[in-house]
Structure 1
Amino acid sequence: MRILHTSDWHLGRSFHREGMLTHQAAYVDHLLDVVASEEVDLVVVAGDVYDRALPHVDAVRLADETLARLAASRARVVLTSGNHDSAQRLGFSSRLIDAAGVFIRTDPRTVGTPVMLEDEHGPVAVHGIPYLDPDAVREPWGLPGRSHESALTEAMRRVRADLAGRSAATRSVVLAHAFVAGAQPSDSERDISVGGVSMVPTSVFDGVDYAALGHLHGRHTLTESVRYSGSPLAYSFSETDHRKGSWLVDLGPRGVTSTTFVEAPVPRRLARLRGRLEDLLVDPALAAHEDAWIQVTLTDTARPTQAMDRLRRRFPHTLVLGFESVAPGLGSLPAARTHGRTDHDIAREFMLELRGGPPEPDEAALLFRAVDSCCDDPDLDPGVG
């Protein structure tokens, strides 16, 4: 059986106010092309189909179109809900949709009841575990603790109980949406920690032929049979160096026989630039980034005026601008350098010390007016320099 493992589509999400729906639709086209060209038998989607519990109507339309196209393809589909999805909304009419070969699993009560498929080597039990909120399942499942580890451990106990009653030839595929130890998160995932604890040990999935994980947006190989596909698109600049795509997994008679990472199309590259504004505007080595989405950190001693406008003349897709001055941090002048001096002189020197240069005339006038407004008796500090 050939499996395509994907997750974390986050349909409807934007990237620093840039709409991503067109790019998400392009990924769907790519996904369907891979299903056809690689003769995929099963597509597994490990959660976070949508970016929010109440998705925008255009995101719902794209999801509907995607599932309809997958239902018409050669592949079966097993899809689970993630922490961004509304389990009830995503799972609506799932029992009817099963008939089309698209199996949506969002209800914890179905954990332990697999989708049963067949290939030339025999049965394959596909267990779709939706995102499990520890608070929601603790009481009905009688969990000993309030943690993701407790919830997923109980879910896998139910999976193993089901597999124990099946023939030895049955192979197992599990979908789960969680933070599994050994993987590195990025900035774009929502925190799912409970009491500061969110990690689940990899050993929870021991004995499973393949565990298709979702939640983290970078691809990770935790073991040969436990993997994250990551999100198909970058959703934060912390993912600048990620390779996005999906895992193509071949399941033989005794488990996984091969895995290949299929890279997804990149709508626009990401780049993070750092330095003085004037240097960034003229550096020829940065020409390769002129069409990328850009995050810029400026290190000028004084904050440049109209920095974003000037950057966008060269880098029109600059989305994030930050400042990290190399000037000394805020502090105070020693008493010896303030004794017997006017407030105006002290303010001027403090600005010189902080910025490395004197204030401009209009800045000095504004600064002195501010000083005067704070003085108890402006006559004690005569004259504006």
Structure 2
Amino acid sequence: MNRNVLISGASIAGPALAYWLGRHGFRPTVVELAPALRQGGQAVDFRGDAHLTVLERMGLLPELRRIQTGGSPMRFVDERGRTLLDLPAEFAGGEMEVLRGDLARVLHEHSAPSTEYVFGDSIAALTETACGVRADFRSGISREFDLVIGADGLHSQVRRLAFGPEKDYVSHLGYYAATWQLPNELGVGKGSVGYNVPGRLASVGADHRDPARAGAFFVFASTELSYDRHDPEQQKRLIADAFSGLGWEVPRLLDSLHQAPELYFDSISRADVNTWFRGRVCLVGDAACGATIGGMGTGTAVVAAYVLAGELARAQGDHRTAFARYERRLRTYAEGCQAGGDRTGKFLAPATTTGIRLRNTLLSRRLLLNGMLKLGEKVSSTVTLPDYPTDPSHVSR
């Protein structure tokens, strides 16, 4: 029953779900707008028993430990480069940190034997029929599937097509974030060094693979902006305007921005969907309950993929039963993790000089810092993971 499943999105949640569906004997197809797997990207982290247990059950833990970054310490400085706050690697890196591109590659490799991957295309329309869903693709082809899963992030196309416009589900949290690559002419080392003024953060850190390269990470407070998400030159102007006139190394970093061939720019936002499924369409990961930064989205996506596939297998493909069980089991957990993203912008770029000073003072106290780390581990582990038996004849490698 309902073995033919279309998944939109080949970042993290999509390949993780495809892996587990394949292990349970389903036939997943993953469609991705990008022409190939996206390389590079920011580091992502896993923390707590739930995240690591799922990775262990996937057989990925040893491989990911071999390619982990070792964490990303954070240092905040004043305009003259004097250190104001040092945060250890585990603060941002959790118990295990890997580059997003590396994680996507590993998930793709392990899911590919049982998954059809279609790159360079996307879903243009969905029509539910008596016994399935017809998907019309941008390429012009149409195909029938039993179920469709939106694993395509905060700006989910599947959610827009099946649930309604993005404005009904995504809330702006008052900040924007940008990242880009540049030569490491500043000679920064492992981790990142950042400079704050009220409502703004400019930071840079060495590339985890190539110390001759670096990555800039900027955050700034703003009301919701109107801009073309497919126009990087317009986005670069917005960033340059927001950081114009600042000291420290900001002018050099902005100079590199104008030469950067690739730019990530997005609002810090959260997605809240009152029901994660409609008919034969279901959402997973950030599409259902995501936060741009700081909401443990990667770990939650991996856990959600495991549970959704497991419930579909337990219900023998009965999507009505499986989708409802999946949401009941995970909603409270996902929302608890997501709540951390509400504080990310305020932590990285406090709105006032007093707020910056208070953050630096409080987090310089090791006892308080340890308490925050333990709280993060506790929140990420507040879910009971069932043991979903898999078909031994369906293995990934």
Q: Do both share a fold (TM > 0.5)? A: no
Q: Which of the two has greater helix per residue?
A: 2
Structure number with greater CO (CA < 8 Å, separation at least 6) is 2
Larger Rg: 1
